[in-house]
Amino acid sequence: MFDCIMVGAGPASSTAAYHLAKQGRSVVVVEKASLPRNKPCSGGVPGAIAQWLDFDLTPAMSMKANKITYTWKMEYLVQVQQINSPMWMVQRDVFDDFLIKQAQKTGAEVRHSTEVKGIELKNFLWEVKTNSEPVFGRYLIAADGAGGPMTKRLGLKEPTLCLSASLETRSIKGDSVNFDFGTIKKGFIWSFPKADGYSWSIAAMRGDKPKDIKKMLAEYALKCGADVSVSNVREHPRSLWDGDRKLHSPNSLLAGDAASLADPLSGEGIRHAIFSGFKAAKASDRALGDADDAKEPYTESIAQEWGPDMVWIGRLVRAFYQFTGAVYRAGLQFPRTTKLMSKILCGELLYADIANRAFNKLMPF
Ligand SMILES: Cc1cc2nc3c(=O)[nH]c(=O)nc-3n(C[C@H](O)[C@H](O)[C@H](O)COP(=O)(O)OP(=O)(O)OC[C@H]3O[C@@H](n4cnc5c(N)ncnc54)[C@H](O)[C@@H]3O)c2cc1C
């Protein structure tokens, strides 16, 4: 029997497993995919994640990017000069594998190719049924990502899923992050450089489910000079923050995309996964230690630390996706706006810090 069972082996789970194992708790991570797995993702990560991980992340980094370009409907290129703090770029198979190995080094057990099929809490003990033998534990952290089954199984509010897709190419290289607006309604296309190529992504951010999302992404990559095939584009859902929600149920917590914590404007979610994994480890360690359940403070502390900024993002999102063209013309293509956005993406600034200024400028449109 384990102190804690983590479902999923993404950044939320591995962060929680690392910190709990470091506290001497017995931990098992149960992952349905065969590891290392490559999650569809562009892999842009802010340096701010280092505050929740006390080991050197350099081996997990592919490169740093310090330039941004924008296009409107794949045209009218605006090249923005260097951004102050470079953004870290990671390959998700390498990054996630590195994180889970840090958890293993501290004592966490990892069972991959093991899909959770059902859960049952009996006499304060979880039985997690899998495609192989069941796993027993006192506490459960559900970090099974966007579209995973655990939120529903725990009787918590299910996320609204948005459609996204991604593509990896090795044919062209570069050092800038690129965003295209206007091609996809209420969303955007972006490409992030890696040491050996580019990761391309497309997202419909407001719940729309366009049918030709894979084709749009392939066309964009082709137009940028990449060697592509639509069949290599992989769809994956996203669960973005849409208001504070309950993140606990008896003897269990939600973390990462399963908790719908990703930024609804930029779609960034790795930082939020790591932050919530860190918090979930603290809360479950307290609960395991005291017999006094610490789950409510977890929901509260996520809402307190993340919520206020997310409220500002929610307002910006409404303005941005309603008037994308006007916002693009009025602000986004200017270097000053980019510097602010890059500071946010690097974790150096909160939306709340700039929202008043930005909102006053954007709302008249
Ligand atoms: C196209 C795209 C591009 C993105 N680009 C970026 C970006 O550039 N920067 C950024 O910060 N964020 C990005 N994101 C978001 C980011 O990928 C997620 O926010 C992040 O991966 C969430 O981490 P997680 O640990 O919560 O879940 P995940 O990384 O999704 O891990 C969940 C794990 O749970 C496993 N699982 C699911 N069900 C079960 C089950 N029943 N049993 C066992 N295991 C299960 C899955 O196999 C998976 O490995 C992007 C997302 C998409 C879709």
Q: Quick one: DSSP state of residue 292?
A: S
Q: Which H or E element spans position 295?
A: helix 295-322
Per DSSP, the three-state class of 337 is helix
**pLDDT confidence of residue 103:** 98
**pLDDT confidence of residue 39:** 96
pLDDT in tens, 213-260: 999 999 999 999 999 887 799 999 999 988 889 999 999 999 999 999
**pLDDT confidence of residue 144:** 98
Closest among 103, 87, 98, 97 to 42, alpha carbons compared? 87
Q: Is the C-beta atom of 8 inside 6 A of ligand 1?
A: yes
Question: Can you state the percent helix, strand and coil of the chain, rounding each to 5?
Answer: 40, 25, 35
Q: Is the C-beta atom of 42 inside 6 A of ligand 1?
A: yes
**pLDDT confidence of residue 365:** 42
Rounded to whole angstroms, the Cα distance separating 272 from 302 reads 10
Residue with tokens 């505050």: 51
Q: Quick one: DSSP state of residue 240?
A: B
* CA 39 to ligand 1 centroid distance, Å: 6
Please report, as a single letter, which amino acid is at residue 144. D
Regarding the domain with residue range 2-362, which homologous superfamily does it belong to in the CATH classification? Answer: FAD/NAD(P)-binding domain (3.50.50.60)
**pLDDT confidence of residue 163:** 92
**pLDDT confidence of residue 37:** 95
Atom from ligand 1 closest to the CA of residue 236: 53
Q: Is the C-beta atom of 238 inside 6 A of ligand 1?
A: yes
pLDDT in tens, 275-332: 999 999 999 999 998 755 556 689 999 998 887 777 777 777 777 777 777 777 776 6
Q: What are phi and psi of 187, to 5 degrees?
A: -170, -165
Q: Which H or E element spans position 127?
A: strand 125-130
The CB-side HSE value for 72 (13 A sphere, CA atoms) comes to 12
Q: Choose which residue among 41, 100, 278 to substitute to test ligand 1 binding: the one with the highest number of ligand atoms within 8 A of its C-beta.
A: 41
Q: Which H or E element spans position 16?
A: helix 11-22
Q: Is the C-beta atom of 92 inside 6 A of ligand 1?
A: no
Confidence at 357, pLDDT banded by 50, 70, 90:
low
Q: Is the C-beta atom of 168 inside 6 A of ligand 1?
A: no
Q: Quick one: DSSP state of residue 349?
A: S
Rounded to whole angstroms, the Cα distance separating 192 from 176 reads 7
* Model confidence at 361: pLDDT above 70: no
Q: Choose which residue among 18, 68, 144, 313 to substitute to test ligand 1 binding: the one with the highest number of ligand atoms within 8 A of its C-beta.
A: 144
**pLDDT confidence of residue 243:** 85
* CA 99 to ligand 1 centroid distance, Å: 14
* Model confidence at 261: pLDDT above 70: yes
Q: Quick one: DSSP state of residue 339?
A: H
Q: What is the mean pLDDT of the chain?
A: 89
* CA 358 to ligand 1 centroid distance, Å: 30
What average pLDDT score do residues 91-114 get? 98
Rounded to whole angstroms, the Cα distance separating 294 from 159 reads 23
Give strand pairing partners of 2: 137
